[in-house]
Chains A and B, each alone.
Chain A
């Protein structure tokens, strides 16, 4: 009988350890995702500022209003604002993922069921708190992707229109690299929401499970 009890307990302990490991993986994925978002937010700000400054001074040098440059300035300004908003939201996600990571790290030495459940409760409540921010991030990232794509297309058009007669690769190498980078940024901006949507859908299903659990807990409490 005692042996059976011991087997059950060790089985529970293995399950607790596995759940703890799974939590760790999720926290790490979320932290990585939030870092990637901070980086893309910063890149968006940098691209926005350089575009606005370059086009403003080229217009000033030419001493005349150019519609093409004005459009660039507009896109640059929007990219700057999106980047700023993006960083603020990413920082909020990063704040809660690092809090979770610290808590997880502190508790790694003595993994008990209580520790695991406490982390799960923390993650559930943090998701409830940050659900709107995550939805905003999905929209922001897609919006950033659209503007990077527009910027990339405009750069491509300007390369082609400036080199209609004879195209010299070495003369346009810098512009080509810049365009490719901008298009890569755009692709990444469309890819990030995919991961956030997946994260949100997993957590939405968990929140539904919590709602079901609440009914069971209520019943249990009322049974006395």
Chain B
């Protein structure tokens, strides 16, 4: 299924998935990304220190840092609001 996600939605998916150590392959599979795009997102998150790499060079594993929690909780708060503040809930 094709899905259109914003960069922040992809960041949230990656960071949530990497709450426990994940390999590059599992990230691209779970987040439905191609390797080039996934690498760009991971580099950005590593640069922001929202992710860190653990493990050896041969088997890199990514894990979400404590620093990312603020982003994750703000994201959750904003997205949950979508279903809480809509004036007409049913159609």
Contacts and interface: CB of A to CB of B under 8 A. Distances in A.
Nearest to A30: B91
B82 A224 contact: no
B5 interface: yes
B58 interface: no
B43 interface: no
B24 interface: no
B75 A117 contact: yes
Contacts of B84: 15, 19
Contacts of B75: 117, 213, 217
A191 to B, nearest CB: 13
Interface in B73-87: 74-76, 78-87
Interface in A1-36: 15-16, 19, 22-23, 25-26, 29, 33
Interface majority SS on A: helix, strand, loop or mixed? helix
Contacts of B4: 125, 128-129
B80 A19 contact: yes
Nearest to B78: A213
Given A199-B91, A202-B91, A126 B3 contact: yes
A126 B12 CA distance: 17
Nearest to A19: B83
A193 to B, nearest CB: 12
Nearest to A200: B91
Contact of B82 (A16, A99, A120, A214): A120
A141 B1 CA distance: 25
Contacts of B85: 209
A14 to B, nearest CB: 12
Interface string B35-67: 000000000000011000000000000000001
B47 to A, nearest CB: 10
Contact of B9 (A16, A33, A125): A125
Contacts of A154: none
A195 B91 contact: yes
B69 to A, nearest CB: 11
A121 interface: yes
Contacts of B1: 95-96, 99
A14 B91 CA distance: 24
Given A116-B80, A121-B13, A220 B86 contact: no
Contacts of A128: 4
A217 B80 contact: no
A206 B9 contact: no
Interface in A123-171: 124-126, 128-129
B78 A217 contact: yes
Given A202-B88, A213-B75, 15 more contacts: A19-B83, A33-B91, A99-B1, A113-B80, A117-B75, A117-B79, A120-B79, A121-B12, A121-B79, A124-B79, A124-B82, A125-B3, A213-B81, A217-B8, A220-B70
